[in-house]
Structure 1
Amino acid sequence: MSARTPRAAAPWVRTRLRTAPGAACAFALLVLVTAFLAAAFPRSVDAYETKGLRHDLGTATPVHSVLELKGPQPGLELRPAAREAAVREDTMAAAHAQVLKRLPAPLRADTAESAYGVRTSTPIAAGEPWFPRPFGLDPTLTYATQSGLSSHATLRTGSWPATHGTVSMTTGEVEAAVTEETAKALRIKTGATIAVPTRGEDTLTVRITGIVAPKNPAGSYWSSEPLLRTPSLVAKPTKDTPRYYWIAALLLPPDAAPALLATAGQPELYWRIAPDVSGLTALDVPQLRTSVASLEGGPGLLAMRDVAGATVSMATDLDEILTGYEGMRSAIQPVVTVAAVGIGAVAVVVLLMTGGLLASRRHAELALLRARGGSLRGIGGRLLAETAVTAVPAGALGLLLAVLTVGEARLWPAAVGAGAVVVLVCAALPLRTALQHRTPQTHVGRDDLATARPSRRRTVAELTLLVLAAGAVFALRRRGTDAEGGTDLLVSAAPVLVGLIAAVVLVRLYPLPLRLALRSVSRLRGAVGFLSLARAGRTSAAGTLPLLALLVALTTAAFGGSVLAGVADARDDAAVLATGADARVTGEADSVPLSAGLVRAVEKAAGVRGSARVQVEFGVALPAAGDGTQDAKGTTLIGVDPATYAALARSTGLGPFPADRLRAKGAGAAPDGDRVVPALVSPSVAERLGDRPLGLRALAGNFKVRAAATVTRTPAVDGSSFIVVDAAAFTHRQTTALLLTGSGLDAKELRAAARHSGEKISVQLRSEERATYVDTPMQSGAERIYLAAIVAGAGYALLAVLLSLLRTAPERTTLLARLRTMGLTSRQGGRLLGFEALPQALLAAVGGLLVGWATIALLAPGVDLVRLALSSGPGSGRLATAPLRTDPWSLALPALGVIVLTGAVAGVQAWWAGRRGSITELRAGDSR
């Protein structure tokens, strides 16, 4: 009977996890959060880019988003029967099915909103006497046999149009329907008939059998050609006063299409394809652009001609929508990458600090194993297994949470991010151990920050980082965050590199003030201050890592907060430029005067604190320039009360000026064309006026103006050419605009006062204008990422503080125990620990403030937030730029949090050490 192999001791991994379960759980939680952030970031970017694409395509007007395939009527050389067969319902439906089937991927059709038919491309005049003729001109009508009318409309009056028998080119009467809006505008009733001239001597009678209401008026079925739904007044081209006439559309049944071939309206065949955007993703954009180009003039168009006719053509504005989407994505993506690189760098540093903390706590244990013959491979393998047991499940759980939290995104980038975190965590501890224990160590000397002398390699590495940081900042300031062909990671890493260089510089300078302070404190009677500074000077030279984490985290938080503040400021500025005040009440086209009763009612409304009565006159001719050229558009003349208007300009920040410089002398005197009135002018007008007074002829009066001051903006108008003068100089005074200031303005009360006046009054509130700048999914997604960057940056900064303090916690606890045996009180122990940690906390906080401020100041010229702040809506053109601005709260709050947390941890440690007692701590051994 063979001897049994002796059973091995307890497994290493299980023993280590049982020995320190709290540390293992904390480590797993850190890995889980970091893996979640690393996996959630690429998924969030994919998600908001996909939602942004669907938003842009889905909210675009059907006129621009629909794909219209159209061709002329069948050739006249064909026999009538062949021409009629080419436009019948079954032929058109079969072609429609093939057109939808042959759409190149990733284009897909929304079959419910797509339609086909035959229409008269040239409107035909209707001579029936009962049609309205506002200017004495006959209305013109188009006739369309659009498919699916009964599915997209509700019958209000009469019956659905139908065909009776087989309709041909010689059919004398067909039925049609019109929408309610068309019937109301053109006074059409059921049973009415319209004579349509044909190519021969006969006429085609169209009888109205039904009036319908669209079920979805905004859908592509009705809005790809709005005339089908809503008639329009069109101006007849003329050199004299324009004359308008009605143009509308009548809806015939699909099988009535052959009858249109006999008319003179140039019939054409069409297939309108509404794109289905529900399945599109941001990754489909390149292929989508290729597909659209192919349909407009490539293989896709040839495939369509195989089924719809050799002469059909495709027209769509989808390519323009995609161009706008890609422009916004290319503007937002680099700015978001800056935040991602910053948070990623902080996370890496914190993970390395965690590995360093674990390695320092187990230094004696690993040194003993190494001294007793343990190999680096064996020790590293056990540490790798010990770390992987905790890190791999935590990373997998973080990935799972990211997938569940952020949907509709690719999996592999998230898996790569979470996997990178796990690999870094698993490799940090074994590699650090292998580097520290290459040779058995019996004793390690002091590694004081105050006495350490950097090596030549470290100096070269620091100089290299300095060059990289300078190059990144220079590139970002010169060309901005945009880079040809994608995002420039060097430029995006500029804040991180600046923080890294600042950490290196601060660590090198840190011993100098510490030595000076130590000399001053050594002369004092108390021992606490001297011991605190002496202990602070003995901090390990490895303190660069926590300082780097703090600086990069604080810089990233400050940068993210400044981005959000810059976005909010840009929207506020755009809203102010749109209204000029907290509220704006104007007549029609800003030129119709407001009645005195309306002005009094509005000024008495709740919340109104002040008002400025303004008289605006557009198109005032300017004197000819020096070369004799005239300004055809003229300028805008604005009459104001200097005192109230100057106060409004100061409060809004739009061209503030001293009221005395605008006040006209001799106000109230008899009108005189030779009067010289001081004026507040725009730069373009100032260049035209020069230094001498020049005469103006306006409806408000004739006088001369002299430029008293030049401003680029003014509250009354949103334009670049204006003249602001004292309204007392006007011969004909009136109020065309009322600019109101106040908090809590009641929009309902203001609009009620406008309605009671019986005038066409426009009421515009700055708060409502501000609310119109609604985020697109891409903008809101980028803002959420920056908000997460602020929170994550602050959290990692505080975690770096905790890790830095926990690394030396046993040594400080032992020190307190020894000093208490020498008479140190608990209060003095708390002060000792607080003063010891204070220099590094102040270094990190003040350094973070300075570095954050300097980073924003350095990078601001290269960061433009216009596309992030304003979509392509009404306010996007009002701001040329939206620069990055420093947000004081984003700078101050994280820095104060570092100081407060450091003091709190020191106080808690002193209290806990006091509870344990000196004897218990001293029995634990002599920690170095």
Structure 2
Amino acid sequence: MRAVAPWVRTRLRTAPGAAVALLLLTLVTSFLAAVLPRAMDGYAAAALRHALATAPPERSAVELTDTPWQDDTGTGGDPVAPAVLAERYERIVAALPAPLRADRAESAYGVRTGSPLAADDPWIPELDGGRTVFTLSAQHGVDRHAVLRAGRLPKVADGPVTSDTRAVEAAVTTATARTLAIRPGAVVHLPVPGSGGPLAVRVTGIVEPVRPDGSYWAFEPVLRTPTRLLKPGPVPQPYWHGALLLPPGAAPVLRSTGPDSEAYWRIAADPAGLGARDAEALRNAVASVEDGPVRARLGEVFSPDLFVESGLDDVLLGVERTLAALDPVVAVAAFGVAGVAGVVLLMAGGLVAARRRDELALLRARGGSVAGVAGRLLGETAVPVLPAAAAGCALAFAAVPEGRALPSLLAAVAVAVAACGALPLRAAFAHRRVGMHGERADAGRARPSRGRTVAELTVLALAVVAVAALRRDGGASPEGGAAGDGAGGAAAGAGGAAAGSGDLLASAAPLLVALIAALLLVRLYPLPLRFAARAAARRRGPVVFLALARAGRAGGAATLPLLALLVALTTAAFGGAVLTGIADARDRASLAAVGADARVEDDPLPAGAADAVRKVPGVTDVAAVNRSYDLDLRERDTGGIGSVTLLAVEPESYARLTARTGLGAFGADAVRAPAGTDASTVLPAVASPGVASLLGGDAVRIGPAEAPFTVRVGAVREVTPGAASGGEFLVVDAAGLPGGADGPPTTLLVSGSSVSGTALKAAASAAGAAQADVALRETVRAGFTDSPAQRGAERIYTAAVAAGAGYAVLALLLALLQAAPERTALLVRLRTMGLTRRQGRRLLVLESLPQALLAAGGGTLTGWVAIGLLGPGIDLAAPALAGRGEGAATGPVAPVADPWSLLLSALAVVVLAVAVAAATARPATRRTTTELRAGDTR
């Protein structure tokens, strides 16, 4: 007896196209689901490494210091001897707990003076503050971190150096030599405590740092470049502070320079190899070194006075806060595309179940159980789905090598379960009772059941809770979550779990809002259909009536495609609002930072600089400003508001600038000085809120003692061009200040959308301002996108919106395909009754319009409502400004409703629906009479 052919093999051979389509759909969905958590892990890890690599050296390193007065090791060695310092450096590096690793190329150790010493030599340049002071540093590795430019490297000669030695050699950097007029062979005499006389330091060489911005040189910037220090007093006066680089063997002489001389080990953190989940472990490692087990062990080796300090905690905390702000934004998009993808998988199963309705009904009528039928369907879907899900996951691992494996694997498994279970569950539900013919489902006459009402109310309650949670805390826990946890997750189904510390319900709020809108529209859908059908029934032509009747016959089948379109439109609208909010925040922040389209400043600018800049191509206007800081408010205490910036302006041009930029606009009369001003004239002024509260509304005498002036605040503005973001300021007419008419400006605020920075620099140089600084607004704006986390989150959000749109298009196609056989048979029958081809095409187009218009209008309204409800709970400062402080002047950064993203997406749905309907109408209206028996069971 011949064996019966296996079910799965027979079905796959019968319908290979459906199996291939399901395989491709599962492959793409599994890839997107698996790649999302890995992409989030990738940008989190990149953000961690970027933060450590770009942080100032004093914040990205661990510094250990000790007072090397005696041998605390019991070995008898000198604690500042090069061999002892090197041995202790190796102990420190070996004791660092993972994942904290030392960057040996940028780490440094040595001995330095605690307080700088003033030089006695008259040939050394001095500023108004008095004698130049020097820090002496015997730092190891200068020969490896610098290039010799003149002379030779210092060395220890004539026996070992002790605290009694009074002559040593040193080197200086090129910047120190240039600023302080030091040449090889020069001797710097530094007085030291005691009676041994001054310490003579002979400069033998000039070196050029190889990496001046690296931790080796930049941790203590004075080692590479002299700095200006200020002497305290009523009028602070500057004086020079430089550094002399001694050879390591000369370190013992530093004991004689004062009791605060110290040995130090500066361990630069190595960011290489750090992953998304290493942030918390790195913080624990830093805490252990600062004041934990590692510190205790090192204290036993060094001395109990060993002091450990690091700014790594602040750097890591900043990374975690940035990621905690980004994760809810990304999770919103992830849940949106997850919802659309889930709907499409259900629709794919539903399409197959509808096409095979008669076959499955016959199996049930012949005694097949629900479980047996579902099992066979599960077997035939598992054959293409499981390999496709595995391949999609493997492609995700290949596309994004970095990231945790478990979230991606779980996401791929979730896709496989959904794809495998869609057809069996849909078929089991439809054929839970034996029957050969389904009842007619007419949306125009349908009455929702009590179970459906309960389910809809449950979803409504969840949506309300989610919206409230998102508006309260933005979908994140109060602590912000760890960077590793926050980066690892994505939405369930389309990319794993959402941010570990984030609220899943809050992140799913837009999806739930779209679901509520879909359920509400499905309930309201019959009402316009009934009225439209009644009106069409009185018309002479049959096309409109038939189209409305066909649309009403869609019944519950319209729910899933409508839900997919609404979720996609809501996600696209929300995505457009997010991108618009980010762009607006960057525009405001860059404008507040520069003050105009460009800024040229020097102290002061030549008299002809403004005229030269006005002639630059692209410049439309120039506002000349004399900007000075630390305005003297006389008897008033400014401790609560800090320093005050005085802006002496030309009223007309500055007023035009405020109106054009929108930064605290006011008229020229608000600051114009009265004609014939003198020392007693009261000048009208515009002030910041803090300055206005200090000065009040009366005439107040302020300014320096040699040139005081009287002002009365007439207008208050939060911001103004040329003032620091969030700073306090006072704006007056330059012509009214004592000598203000003749005083040159320090800043030119330039307007013009196509201004060239090179041309501005050339114009300023030609006018005599060769050292003028030029800042462009577009350059500052571009600087807001330098964070890997920021760029990664934007890419993920954009990709999620695009994927959601693709799935929505697929949902629309599946909805049309599901009704294609019945539609074709109907058209052929109507053709036999006299319906023309043109009328047939109009019928299909009009039939698709109600659902398309419903989805377009509902999607637009839902997107607008979602932005209004959820926008206040989304903080876009991190993705917009890369965590910079310029956001203080921009105010809250929230999504901004973009009418174009709302209307264009809705219009695209209508156009696509009409185009697909028109495309399917042409071949359908040309079918022969062989289609007359399509679907006929008799």
Residue of structure 1 in register with 2:26 after alignment? 31
In the TM superposition, what are the counterparts of 1:593-742 in structure 2 within 5 Å? 595=607, 597-614=608-625, 636=646, 638-642=648-652, 644-657=653-666, 662=670, 669-671=675-677, 682-684=688-690, 694=699, 705=712, 707=714, 710-718=716-724, 721-722=728-729, 732-733=740-741, 736=745, 737-742=747-752
Partner of 2:280: 286
| Counterpart contact for 2:351–2:818, Cα < 8 Å | yes
Aligned-partner residue type, residue 456 of structure 2: E
Q: Structure 2 matches for 1:411-810, cutoff 5 A?
A: 411-484=405-478, 486-588=501-603, 592=604, 595=607, 597-614=608-625, 636=646, 638-642=648-652, 644-657=653-666, 662=670, 669-671=675-677, 682-684=688-690, 694=699, 705=712, 707=714, 710-718=716-724, 721-722=728-729, 732-733=740-741, 736=745, 737-759=747-769, 761-810=772-821
Counterpart of 1:107, as a letter, is: L
1:852-891 mapped onto 2 (5 Å cutoff): 852-873=863-884, 875-891=886-902
Cα offset, 1:840, TM superposition: 0.4
Q: Which amino acid aligns with 1:525?
A: R
SS of corresponding position for 1:557: helix
Q: Matched residue of 1:145: which SS?
A: strand
Q: Distance in 2 between matches of 1:144 and 1:587?
A: 35
Q: Distance in 2 between matches of 1:791 and 1:684?
A: 47
CA distance in 2, matches of 1:220, 1:744: 39
1:310 is matched with which residue: 293, 304, 307? 304
CA contact (8 A) 1:195 1:204 kept: yes
1:14 alignment counterpart? 9
Say if 1:581 and 1:715, in contact at 8 Å, map to a contact too.
Answer: yes
What one-letter code is carried by the residue in structure 1 that aligns with 2:426? R
Shift of 1:91: 2.1
**Residues 545 and 663 of structure 1: is their aligned pair in 2 closer, same or farther, counting only changes over 3 Å?**
same
What is the TM-score with the length of structure 1 in the denominator? 0.91
Q: 1:609 deviation in Å?
A: 2.1
Give the conservation status (yes or no) of the 8 Å contact 2:77–2:84. Answer: no
Q: CA–CA distance in 1 between the matches of 2:141 and 2:19?
A: 66
Match of 1:905 in 2: 916
Aligned equivalents of 1:796, 1:412: Cα separation in 2:
25
The answer as to whether partners of 1:866 and 1:882 remain within 8 angstroms in 2 is yes
Residue 296 (str. 1) matches residue 290 (str. 2):
yes
Name the structure 1 match of 2:87.
94
Aligned residues: 908
> Residue 624 of structure 1: CA displacement?
9.0
State the secondary structure of the residue aligned to 1:875: helix
Tell me by how many angstroms 1:457 deviates. 1.0
Please tell me whether residue 827 in structure 1 is matched to residue 838 in structure 2: yes
Q: Which amino acid aligns with 1:123?
A: P
Amino acid across the alignment from 2:539: L
In the other structure, the counterpart of 1:49 is 44
For residues 634 and 935 of structure 2, the distance between their equivalents in structure 1, rounded to whole angstroms, comes to 95
Name the aligned partner's letter for residue 565 of structure 1: T
2:596 maps to a residue whose letter is A
| Partner residue, 2:496 | none
- Distance in 1 (CA, whole Å) between partners of 2:620 and 2:581 is 28
DSSP 3-state at the match of 1:282: coil
TM-aligned CA distance change 1:272 to 1:730, over 3 Å: closer
1:26–1:581 CA distance, 2 compared to 1 (3 A): same
| 1:487 aligned partner, one-letter code | G
Per the alignment, residue 3 of structure 1 pairs with none
C-alpha separation in 2, matches of 1:909 and 1:369: 32
Letter aligned with residue 829 of structure 1 = G
- Describe the shift of the 1:351–1:630 C-alpha distance in structure 2 as closer, same or farther (beyond 3 A): closer
Among 109, 115, 119, the residue aligned to 1:126: 119
TM-score by length of 2: 0.90
Displacement of 1:386 in angstroms is 1.1
Among 318, 329, 332, the alignment partner of 1:335 is 329
- Unmatched 5+ stretches in structure 1: 1-5
**1:328-378 CA distances to partner (integer Å, 9 max, x unpaired)?**
111111222111112112211111111111111111111111212223333
- 1:155 to 2:166 alignment: no
1:668–1:728: 8 Å Cα contact kept in structure 2?
A: no
Distance 2:161 2:293 in 1: 35
Once the two structures are superposed, residues 501-552 of structure 1 have per-residue CA deviations (whole angstroms, 9 ceiling, x without a partner) of 1111111111111111111111111111111111111112232221111111
2:610 and 2:310 mapped to 1: Cα distance?
A: 48
CA distance in 2, matches of 1:698, 1:86: 55
Offset at residue 136 of structure 1 (A): 7.8
SS in 1 for 2:364: helix
Q: 1:119 to 1:623 in 2, by over 3 A?
A: closer
Q: In the alignment, is the contact (CA less than 8 A) between 1:558 and 1:887 conserved in 2?
A: yes
Identity %: 51
Deviations 1:430-473 (A, max 9, x none): 12222222232122111121211111111111112112212222
Once the two structures are superposed, the pairs formed by residues 150-189 of structure 1 within 5 Å of their partners are 150-164=143-157, 167-169=160-162, 173-189=167-183
Distance in 1 (CA, whole Å) between partners of 2:106 and 2:671 is 62
Q: Specify whether residues 371 and 91 from structure 1 end up closer, same or farther in structure 2 by C-alpha distance, changes over 3 A only.
A: same
Residue 386 of structure 2 is aligned to residue 392 of structure 1 = yes
Letter in 2 for 1:749: A
Determine the C-alpha separation between the residues in 1 that align with 2:567 and 2:23.
24
Moved more, 358-367 or 178-187: 178-187
Contact 1:529–1:832 at 8 Å: present in 2 too?
A: yes
The amino acid that maps onto 1:484 is P
Contact 2:227 2:242 in 1 (8 A): yes
2:920 equivalent to 1:926: no
- 1:873 CA displacement: 3.2
Name 1:223's counterpart in structure 2.
Answer: 218
Q: What secondary structure, in the 3-state scheme, does the structure 2 residue paired with 1:864 have? A: coil
- Answering whether residue 829 of structure 2 is matched by residue 818 of structure 1, we say yes
Q: Give the C-alpha shift of residue 204 in structure 1.
A: 5.4
Quote how far apart the aligned CAs of 1:703 are.
6.6
- Change over 3 Å in CA distance of 1:302–1:165 after alignment to 2: farther
Higher mean C-alpha displacement, 523-532 vs 649-658: 649-658
Separation in structure 2 between the aligned mates of residue 651 and residue 747 of structure 1, nearest angstrom: 20
What is the Cα deviation at residue 685 of structure 1?
5.7
Structure 2: state its 5+ residue gaps.
480-500
Q: Is the 8 A contact 1:123 1:265 kept in 2?
A: no
